[in-house]
Chains A and B, each alone.
Chain A
Amino acid sequence: MPAYEIEIILNRQLADCLSIPVFITDTKGNLIFYNEPAEILLGKKYSETGEMKVEQWSTIYSQMDKDGNQIPPDELPLVRTIRDCTPNHKTFWIKSLQGNIEKISLTAYPIISRENKFLGAVAIFWKAKEDEN
Chain B
Amino acid sequence: MKINSWGVRGSIPTSGADTKHYGGRTSSTLVSEDGELLVLDAGSGIQEFNSINAATYKRVDILLTHLHMDHIQGLGFFSPFFVPDLEVHIWGPLSSRNSLHSRISRYLSPPLFPVTIRELPCNLILHEIGNSQFEIGHFKIQSAFVIHPGPTVGYRITGNKSVFTYIPDHEPELGRNGIIKDPKWISGYDLAAGADLLYHDGQYTTEEYNKKRGWGHTSMVDTLLYASLAKVKHLLIAHHDPQHTDTQLNEMFIELKKEHDYPFKYEMAVEGMEINLP
Contacts and interface: CB of A to CB of B under 8 A. Distances in A.
User: Is the pairing of A and B real?
Assistant: yes
Interface of A: 1-6, 9-10, 12-14, 16-17, 113-116
B40 interface: no
A17 B130 CA distance: 28
Interface of B: 94-96, 130-131, 145-147, 151, 174-177, 180, 183-190
Given A13-B174, A13-B175, A114-B96, A4 B145 contact: no
B175 to A, nearest CB: 3
A3 B183 contact: yes
A4 B184 contact: yes
Contacts of B96: 114, 116
A115 B132 CA distance: 10
14 contacts: A2-B190, A3-B184, A3-B187, A5-B131, A6-B146, A9-B147, A9-B185, A9-B186, A13-B175, A13-B180, A14-B175, A16-B175, A115-B94, A116-B96
A107 B131 CA distance: 29
Given A16-B175, A115-B131, A6 B145 contact: yes
Contact of A4 (B94, B95, B185): B185
A10 B185 contact: no
Contacts of B184: 1-4
A16 B131 CA distance: 25
Nearest to B193: A3
A17 B174 CA distance: 11
Contact of B190 (A3, A9, A10, A17): A3
Nearest to B97: A114
Contacts of B147: 6, 9-10
Contacts of A9: 147, 180, 185-187
Contacts of A17: 175-176
A44 to B, nearest CB: 18
A114 B94 contact: yes
B129 to A, nearest CB: 10
Nearest to A10: B147
A114 B183 CA distance: 22
Nearest to B95: A114
Nearest to B175: A13
A10 B130 contact: no
A36 B130 CA distance: 32
B185 A16 contact: no
Contacts of A13: 174-176, 180
A3 B94 contact: no
